[in-house]
Structure 1
C-alpha cells in the first residue's frame, strides 16, 4: 500500500469488491442455513392460472345446472298450469255424461225435434270440452283389458272371472285422465278375480313360443 493510499484510504473499486464478497458470503450462509430460494414467478403464475381455471369450470357447471333446472321448471309450469282448471272441467264433463246416460233409449228415439236438439247439444258440448282439454295435454286413460296399475287406476270392486288373468281391468266406472306425465284423475275400475296370475300366463305364452 503506497503512502498515498495510506493517506487517502482505499479507492472505490476496492470498496465494491469487499461489499460483493460480503454479499456472496451472506447468500451462501443463508443457503447453508436451509432457507428456501425465492419462488419462481412463472411457477406462481401457472399455479394461479390453474386455480382460476378450476373455479371457472365449477362456475360453468353450476350455471349449466341452473339453466337446465330453470328450463325444466318453466316447461312444467307451462304443462301443468291448467291442472286445477282441467280437473274442474272434468267434473262438468262427468255431469254432462251422466245427464246423457240417464236419458232412456226410447226418449232418445223420440221424434220430438226440440228434445233431439237438446240431447245433441249436450253431447256436442261434452265432446268439445274434452277436445279442448286434449289440446292442452289432458289425455284420457284407456285401461279396459289392461293389468291393474295402482298408479293410474283405482279399484272399486272385483268381478269373478276365470278366463282372464287376475287383476285385469274389466270395467271402467269413471274415466281417468293424465296431464303430461302426471295423473290428473285415476280411472275408477272393476278388476277380475279368480283367474290365473299374470306371471303364469306370461310363462305359458313364453313356453308356447319356444
Structure 2
C-alpha cells in the first residue's frame, strides 16, 4: 500500500466555480437587472425619505446596515461547504477516511514488529534455560570424547544432541591453539610457555556456548602466555 498524500488529493477536487462557467453570464445578467431594480427602488426611497423626519431616516439606515451584516456573516459560514461540488465533498470525505486508515495500518505494523521481537526474545530464553540445564551432561560427553572411546550407539546419541542445539542456533566454541579472547574465554590458569609469542588457548576445560552474539557460557581454558 503506497503512502497516501491527503493534501495533494484535495488540491485536485473540483470547485463550484469550475463547473459554473456557462451559468456565469446568465447570473451576471440577472445581477444587472437586480441592480437596476435596486437603483429605482433606492431613488423612490430617497424621495419618500426626504419627507420623513431625520430621526426616522437614521433608524432605517441603521436597521438596513445590521441586516446586511447578518447576511454577510451567514454567507461566510456557508462558504466552505458551497465551494465544493457534491462529488468533491464525497472525495474529501474519502480522503479523510484513507488518511485515518493509513494511520491505523502504520500502528498495526509497529505492533506486529514489536510482537515478533518479543516472541523471538521469549524463544531464546526458553532455549537458554534448556541449554543451561543440560550443560553438566554436555561437559561429561565432551570429557568422554576426549579421554575414552565411545561405542557407536553412544556416539550416535551425542551427535543427535549436538545437531539439535545447532538447529536452535546454539554454537559451541573453544579450541586449543586459538587466540585468547577475554570476552569469550574464562582463563582458569595462565602458564608460561617459552614458545608462545602471544596468549593462546592451551587446554579447553569446558567448552563455551553462544546464540548469535550472545555468550551463554564462556569457555573455561588454560592459557599459554609468553614468559616475558
Q: Please classify the TM superposition score into its range, dividing by the shorter chain length.
A: 0.5 to 0.7
CA distance change for structure 1 residues 31 and 186 in 2, over 3 Å: closer, same or farther? same
Q: Which has the higher helix share?
A: 2
| Residues 45-65 of structure 1 deviation map (CA, whole Å, 9 limit, x = unaligned) | 799877766544433222111
Deviation, structure 1 residue 174:
0.8
Please point out which of 66, 70, 77 is paired with 1:26: 66
- Kept after mapping to 2: 8 A contact 1:164/1:192: no
- Kept after mapping to 2: 8 A contact 1:170/1:190: yes
Does residue 1:146 correspond to 2:191, yes or no?
no
1:208 aligned residue: none
| Residues 79-102 of structure 1 deviation map (CA, whole Å, 9 limit, x = unaligned) | 553322222233212223335555
What is the rounded CA distance, in whole Å, between the counterparts of 1:62 and 1:43 in structure 2?
A: 34
Deviation, structure 1 residue 23:
8.0
Please point out which of 126, 133, 139 is paired with 2:165: 133
Does residue 1:59 correspond to 2:104, yes or no?
yes
Structure 1 unmatched ranges of 5 or more: 1-13, 109-117, 197-210
| Residues 165-198 of structure 1 deviation map (CA, whole Å, 9 limit, x = unaligned) | 3x544432210112344323221123344489xx
Does residue 1:86 correspond to 2:131, yes or no?
yes
Structure 2 unmatched ranges of 5 or more: 1-40, 46-60
What is the rounded CA distance, in whole Å, between the counterparts of 1:164 and 1:66 in structure 2?
A: 53
2:209 aligned residue: 177
What is the rounded CA distance, in whole Å, between the counterparts of 2:190 and 2:82 in structure 1?
A: 81
CA distance change for structure 1 residues 28 and 192 in 2, over 3 Å: closer, same or farther? farther
1:164 aligned residue: 197
TM-score by length of 2: 0.50
| Residues 106-162 of structure 1 deviation map (CA, whole Å, 9 limit, x = unaligned) | xx6xxxxxxxxx755444433332233223322211454134042x32222223347
Runs of 4+ with >6 A deviation: 42-51
Give RMSD over aligned pairs.
4.4
